């Protein structure tokens, strides 16, 4: 998984220098006319070889440090708790009004602000999830495909707080959201969190496509309906069939054949409760990747080389003598 | 004092180059451990790319990897190439332009850490994300400058300059303001030859090209041009533009150099025409604000090298002295 590497492998050619301390072990020039008179001293001979090896070792360590020996960075796959979550966020103009259908003030935040703030909290509490961000108004807009990069998800959510535009086309938005999942559902559970303050008619053709995609991706669908004051409720019984009412959309979703939950929120605290509930429900095993950072061994190698070098230096000083009068 | 000095100078180890070379090597190694890095400041950039995704950007008058490519594909390729060319620590945000608005997809994020996420987001930019077909470029540009400032970035505005509906004969209506805090580039997309604009049906299938009769060729929001009175069927109240349809070339598209240059001058950006994706990073480095990031430069290797030289010199001297 992780392995060693060199930044400058060509520097390793300098390892050839390490043989230098080992050279000249044979016959050598000596100030006395004959060595025969000097008794053989095995301790000194051993010390000589030891010191030369130490010198060679310190040079080798130094060359390894200069070559940039390091443990490569890598990715390890781990299993945690989480899901693949597509955040499908309504960006039509009405979302920029408050729950009381007024202009937002310092005290009362807009539906967008409340929803995004609570989704950001949801995101912060789920470190192993992958997220995608899909905005929809008149047209569906893919802000960010599914990713593990948390900074990018945070940036996409931040961008969702900007002024909204246009009208609402739920069908195409859902279609784009479902298109974010691969067909391989063994990796993680697919979840769509759909946040909107309205409903609308979905084209028959699009309805069939959504149903097929939902079944194919085994998605868990959550509809967080931000109910504005005066708007029809999600669970209201309808006297007359109104295809564009939230209740009809609720009906359609519940007949999709995939796990589905609807939440109606009339104020930010209700949104918070809904998001917490979703957070508790979506706990599945997920394979995620963790980045193992690169580690440089240079400091360690310098320290070891220094250790060897100091021993050699002490030996040299001792041999040559620090004071006059010694041989 | 002098006696002490002379005693030290007389010390035999100091007269032996081998000893002091080894001591010097140890000192250099100590320095490599104690002072491995020097602080310095690195140049990075923070950019917001606003990409025009209106119909005329689907015109295929570029070539990428030997295949015909649309202006939008070329713009995306240029952004991807720029991400690999700019230094790490630089940031890039994304926004789309159609109608009069710039829709922010991503606030600027660091390009190296988030490379694959940004790459994926850029590859998925599509004309189908457009929320309306009109293209009032001067308004999109003015808002782009404000948006770039609000996210603390410089602006890259990719457009072919084709207004839809066409500009009134009176010229540019919106007054453009310079913002000295925002620098950047308008990138003129497209060739100079006018070519037909591809047409798509409701399901996104390409169904040929737009015809002249499909397009508004005059801006009816403005007063009629001088000389309209001479047109056939002119009536000051009922037909101020004349009775017959003015024929134009709005179904054909080429890069509107003069107009885009004028817009660039209006908001104080630089104008460049994009011919190949590799050009972008160099232009950015010349034009955009430099954001200095604190970084640390590795200098341990210099000390390490000096230590190695000392050790090698000691060994060379030792070998040389044994062969006298």
Query: What SS3 class is residue A62?
Result: helix
CATH numbers and ranges of domains, chain B: 40-215+250-294 (3.40.50.410)
Among candidate residues B102, B107, B77, B99, the one with its CA nearest the CA of residue B157: B102
Contact B26 A313 (CB under 8 A): yes
Q: A279 with A201, same domain?
A: yes
Q: A98 with A63, same domain?
A: no
Show the domain range for A298: 4-73+293-320
Express each pLDDT in A300-315 by its tens digit.
999 999 999 999 999 8
Is residue B126 within 8 A of residue B43, CB to CB? The reply is: no
Contact A320 B12 (CB under 8 A): yes
Q: A199 with A306, same domain?
A: no
Is residue A312 within 8 A of residue A51, CB to CB? The reply is: yes
Interface-testing mutation among B9, B27, B54, B103, with chain A (most A C-beta atoms within 10 A): B103
Task: State the DSSP code for B176.
Answer: P
Structure tokens at B99: 């109608």
Residue A256 has pLDDT above 70, yes or no: yes
Answer yes or no: is A326 within a domain: no
> Which residue among B11, B305, B322 places its CB closest to the CB of A324?
B11
Question: How far is Cα B216 from Cα A92, in angstroms, rounded to an integer?
Answer: 28
Answer yes or no: is A327 within a domain: no
For residue B251, how far is the Cα from the chain centroid?
Answer: 29
Express each pLDDT in A191-221 by its tens digit.
999 888 877 778 888 888 899 988 888 889 9
Answer yes or no: is A284 within a domain: yes
Contacts of A321 (CB under 8 A, 6+ apart): A327, B11, B12, B13
Q: A43 with A111, same domain?
A: no
| Choice between A164 and B299, residue whose per-residue pLDDT is larger | B299
Q: What is the pLDDT of residue B72?
A: 92
Which CATH number covers residue A89? Answer: 3.40.50.410
Q: What is the pLDDT of residue A101?
A: 78
Q: A167 with A43, same domain?
A: no
Query: Which residue reads 């789920």 in tokens?
Result: A126
Q: What angle do CA B319, B320, B322 make, to 5 degrees?
A: 70
Q: What is the pLDDT of residue B170?
A: 66
Q: A286 with A297, same domain?
A: no
Q: A149 with A284, same domain?
A: yes
Burial A278-291 (b: 16+ CB within 10 A, else e): beeebebebebeee
Per-residue pLDDT of chain B (324 residues; tens, 9 = 90+): 556 556 555 666 666 788 889 999 999 999 999 998 888 888 899 999 999 988 888 888 888 888 999 999 999 999 999 998 998 889 999 999 988 888 999 999 999 889 989 999 999 998 888 777 777 888 889 899 999 999 999 999 999 888 777 776 666 656 778 888 899 999 999 888 888 888 887 777 888 787 777 776 677 667 777 777 777 777 777 777 776 666 666 777 888 888 889 889 888 899 999 888 889 999 999 989 898 888 888 899 999 999 999 999 988 888 777 654
Answer yes or no: is A325 within a domain: no
pTM (two decimals): 0.78
Count of structural domains, chain A: 2
Question: How far is Cα A119 from Cα A115, in angstroms, rounded to an integer?
Answer: 6
Burial B171-200 (b: 16+ CB within 10 A, else e): eeeeebeebeebbbbbbbbbbeeebebbbe
Contact B7 A316 (CB under 8 A): no
Is residue A234 within 8 A of residue A250, CB to CB? The reply is: yes
Question: How far is Cα B189 from Cα B255, in angstroms, rounded to an integer?
Answer: 6
Among candidate residues A260, A255, A256, A190, the one with its CA nearest the CA of residue A225: A260
Q: What is the pLDDT of residue A53?
A: 92
Kind of pairing between the strands at B101-110 and B91-98: antiparallel
Q: What angle do CA B173, B177, B180 make, to 5 degrees?
A: 160
Q: A98 with A240, same domain?
A: yes
Burial A210-238 (b: 16+ CB within 10 A, else e): bbebbeebebbbbbbbbbbeebbebeeee
Interface-testing mutation among A155, A162, A323, A326, with chain B (most B C-beta atoms within 10 A): A155
């Amino acid at each position: 998984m992780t392995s060693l590497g060199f930044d400058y492998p060509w520097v390793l050619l300098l390892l050839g220098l390490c043989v230098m301390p080992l050279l000249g072990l044979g016959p050598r020039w000596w100030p006395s006319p004959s060595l025969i008179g000097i008794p053989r001293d095995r301790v000194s001979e051993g010390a000589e070889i030891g010191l030369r090896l130490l010198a060679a070792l310190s040079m080798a360590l130094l060359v390894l440090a200069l070559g940039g020996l390091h443990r490569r960075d890598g990715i390890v796959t781990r299993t945690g708790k989480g899901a693949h979550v597509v955040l499908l966020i309504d960006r039509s103009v009405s979302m920029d009004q408050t729950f009381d259908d007024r202009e937002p003030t310092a005290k009362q935040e807009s539906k967008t602000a409340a929803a995004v703030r609570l989704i950001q909290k949801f995101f912060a509490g789920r470190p192993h999830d992958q997220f995608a961000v899909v905005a929809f108004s008149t047209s569906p807009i893919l802000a960010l495909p599914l990713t593990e990069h948390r900074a990018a998800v945070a940036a996409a959510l931040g961008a969702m707080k900007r002024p909204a535009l246009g009208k609402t086309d739920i069908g195409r938005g859902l279609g784009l959201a479902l298109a974010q999942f691969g067909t391989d559902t063994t990796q993680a559970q697919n979840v769509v969190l759909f946040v909107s303050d309205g409903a609308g008619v979905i084209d028959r053709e699009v309805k069939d496509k959504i149903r097929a995609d939902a079944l194919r991706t085994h998605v868990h669908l959550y509809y967080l309906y931000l109910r504005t004051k005066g708007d029809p409720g999600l669970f209201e019984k309808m006297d007359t069939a109104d295809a564009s009412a939230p209740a009809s959309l609720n009906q359609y979703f519940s007949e999709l054949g995939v796990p589905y939950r609807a939440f109606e929120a009339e104020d930010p605290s209700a949104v918070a409760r809904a998001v917490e509930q979703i957070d508790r429900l979506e706990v599945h095993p997920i394979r995620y990747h963790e980045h193992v950072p690169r580690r440089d061994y240079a400091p360690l190698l310098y320290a070891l080389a220094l250790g060897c070098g100091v021993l050699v230096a002490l030996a040299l000083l001792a041999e040559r003598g620090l004071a006059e009068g010694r041989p | 004092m002098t006696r002490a000095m002379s005693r030290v100078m007389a010390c035999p180890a100091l007269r032996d180059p081998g000893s002091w070379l080894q001591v010097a090597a140890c000192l250099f190694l100590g320095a490599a451990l104690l002072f491995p890095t020097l602080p310095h400041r690195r140049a990075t950039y923070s950019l917001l790319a606003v990409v025009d995704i209106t119909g005329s950007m689907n015109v295929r008058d570029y070539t990428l990897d030997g295949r015909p490519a649309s202006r939008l594909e070329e713009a995306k390729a240029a952004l991807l190439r720029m991400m690999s060319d700019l230094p790490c620590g630089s940031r890039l945000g994304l926004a789309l332009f159609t109608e009069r608005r710039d829709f922010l997809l991503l606030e600027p994020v660091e390009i190296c850490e988030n490379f694959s996420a940004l790459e994926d987001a850029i590859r998925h930019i599509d004309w189908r994300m457009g929320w309306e077909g009109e293209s009032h470029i001067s308004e999109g540009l003015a808002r782009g400058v404000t948006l770039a400032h609000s996210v603390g970035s410089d602006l890259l505005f990719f457009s072919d300059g084709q207004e839809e509906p066409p500009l009134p004969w009176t010229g540019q209506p919106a007054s453009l303001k310079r913002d000295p805090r925002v620098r950047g580039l308008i990138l003129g997309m497209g060739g100079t030859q006018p070519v037909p604009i591809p047409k798509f049906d409701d399901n996104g299938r390409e169904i040929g090209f737009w015809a002249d009769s499909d397009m508004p060729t005059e801006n009816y929001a403005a007063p009629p041009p001088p000389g309209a009175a001479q047109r056939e069927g002119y009536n000051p109240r009922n037909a101020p533009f004349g009775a017959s349809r003015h024929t134009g070339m709005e179904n054909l598209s080429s890069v509107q150099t003069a107009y885009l240059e004028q817009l660039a001058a209006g908001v104080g950006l630089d104008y460049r025409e994009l011919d190949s994706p590799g050009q972008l990073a160099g232009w950015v480095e010349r034009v955009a604000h430099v954001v200095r990031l604190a970084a640390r430069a590795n200098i341990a290797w210099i000390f390490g090298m000096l230590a190695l030289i000392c050790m090698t010199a000691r060994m060379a001297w030792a070998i040389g002295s044994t062969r006298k």
